[in-house]
Structure 1
Amino acid sequence: MKMIKKITMALSMLLAYSQMNAQGITYGFQTSANIAVQSPIGDIYNNDDFKAGFNVGVFGNYNFNKAFGLQTELNYMQNGSQTEIVKNSYNYISVPVLVSYNLLQKANENWRINLYVGPYVSFLLNAERKYSDNETSNMDLVDNTNITELGVVYGFSVKHPIQNHYVVLNLRFGLGLTPYDVENSDPKNKHIGIGIGYEF
């Protein structure tokens, strides 16, 4: 019940944002392939084995002018880690709020290359550990996982115009700033995603 309330709140945030200016806002949907890992923030090379996953969601974008914009998203996100023995899967509803800057506002009014950065809040849907030996029972990790997570997203996107709409290609990085594990505050969720979307 609490999770339903949190998801409803996230949807309400997206709706409220979209009502700020109905004429200046665009909408779209997106999906991406993600590579996720769980390790301390400063741990760059000594990471756990990567886990493949995906992200799918919707977004609303408001352009203040040709240079700056604000984008809010509602995404289903797969995070976790994987070794030869176990696969840890953590699935979230994630709500980023991103400030974007268009590098081509003077050179080209059609194509757009945007840099973006902003915070996100994620709400845990489920968490599970699976063993590769097919003999050990799977383990539910929800009780050992923090329900909410705060982090930051940054990256860039390329928008190609199709009539009055855009095809969007993006590369982004996500870094959890709060621990996902209740008992261990060191490891954080991290991911890199390559995606495609459509803005209309």
Structure 2
Amino acid sequence: MNIRKSLFSVILLFLFFPLYAQWSAGGKVGLNGSTVHFPDGGAELDSKYCMGLNGGFFAQYHFNPYFSLQAELLYMKNGYKLKDWIYEYENIDEVPSDMDIALHYLEIPLLAKFTHKTGLDLQLGPQIGFLLKRRLRYGEEVQPQELMGKKQPIDFSPVFGAGYEANNGLLLDFRYLLGLTSVYKDVAGFQNRTFYISLGYKFDL
């Protein structure tokens, strides 16, 4: 009898589930505050957060009013700053100067979203980033790429955060990116650490 009830419940689920399931899409834009996790022994570095922009598009599939999956295609500018850093390299004066590392990514998050009836939601999932461009500024000068070591083309990160979706389609997201991959291919540590906030709009398809 229990088997019949279970089978009947599964059949009902497949019959009525498509009645709710729907797609939505939209765009967003926002700000980042980023730095990196320095390797062991780097705790004494005078690191500052680097501000940047994020923006792009997303598609969301709603399984029911409370659970959905969301895929995004975002541009994000990450990086970090060091105050009064001495860069020991040929042809560079060994005097303290500020160093600014900028890392430009194409990011693809895939997030599970758990939404409360109030519009508040929790978000969790993986994010993969593809490095588009990087830049090292030491003092007032932009330095050549070889000073940054071997380029790390891909960045893997778990992402988690919270958001709010209004009935009119406006949304606000606040997330934290916890990088697992060093931004330098030949150096351990230096994983991205980024807070980012986005304001967007979505519509049903």
Q: What TM-score, normalized by structure 1, do the two folds share?
A: 0.76
Q: SS of the residue aligned with 2:58?
A: strand
Name the counterpart of 1:51: 50
- 2:143 is equivalent to residue 138 of structure 1: yes
2: CA distance between counterparts of 1:64 and 1:46?
48
1: CA distance between counterparts of 2:36 and 2:144?
18
2: CA distance between counterparts of 1:120 and 1:179?
15
Name the counterpart of 1:153: 159
2: CA distance between counterparts of 1:42 and 1:65?
45
2:176 to 156, 173, 190: 173
Name the counterpart of 1:29: 27
Name the counterpart of 1:195: 198
- Measure how far apart 1:41 and its partner are: 8.7
Please tell me the residue identity of whatever aligns with 2:162: F
Q: SS of the residue aligned with 2:181?
A: coil
Q: SS of the residue aligned with 2:167?
A: strand
Residues 45-73 of structure 1 show CA distances to partners (whole Å, capped at 9, x for unaligned) of: 86721100010110001110111100000
Indicate the RMSD between aligned Cα atoms, in angstroms.
Answer: 2.2
Identity among equivalent pairs (%): 25
Residues 143 and 199 of structure 1: CA distance in aligned 2, closer, same or farther (over 3 Å): same
Residues 93-127 of structure 1 show CA distances to partners (whole Å, capped at 9, x for unaligned) of: 000000010122xxxxxx41110100011101011
Q: What TM-score, normalized by structure 2, do the two folds share?
A: 0.75
Q: SS of the residue aligned with 1:83?
A: strand
- 2:100 is equivalent to residue 95 of structure 1: no
Q: SS of the residue aligned with 1:155?
A: strand
2: CA distance between counterparts of 1:79 and 1:119?
17
Name the counterpart of 1:15: none
Name the counterpart of 2:82: 83
CA contact 1:95–1:120 (8 Å) conserved in 2: yes
Residues 173 and 146 of structure 1: CA distance in aligned 2, closer, same or farther (over 3 Å): same
Residues 5-34 of structure 1 show CA distances to partners (whole Å, capped at 9, x for unaligned) of: xxxxxxxxxxxxxxxxxx711001011111
Name the counterpart of 2:68: 69
CA contact 2:127–2:159 (8 Å) conserved in 1: yes
Gaps of 5+ in 1: 1-22, 105-110
- Measure how far apart 1:139 and its partner are: 2.6
Name the counterpart of 2:187: 184
CA contact 1:130–1:139 (8 Å) conserved in 2: no
Gaps of 5+ in 2: 1-20, 84-97
CA contact 1:28–1:197 (8 Å) conserved in 2: yes
Please tell me the residue identity of whatever aligns with 2:124: V
- Measure how far apart 1:88 and its partner are: 0.2
Name the counterpart of 1:9: none
CA contact 1:98–1:116 (8 Å) conserved in 2: yes
1: CA distance between counterparts of 2:161 and 2:39?
18
Residues 137 and 195 of structure 1: CA distance in aligned 2, closer, same or farther (over 3 Å): closer
2: CA distance between counterparts of 1:137 and 1:90?
14
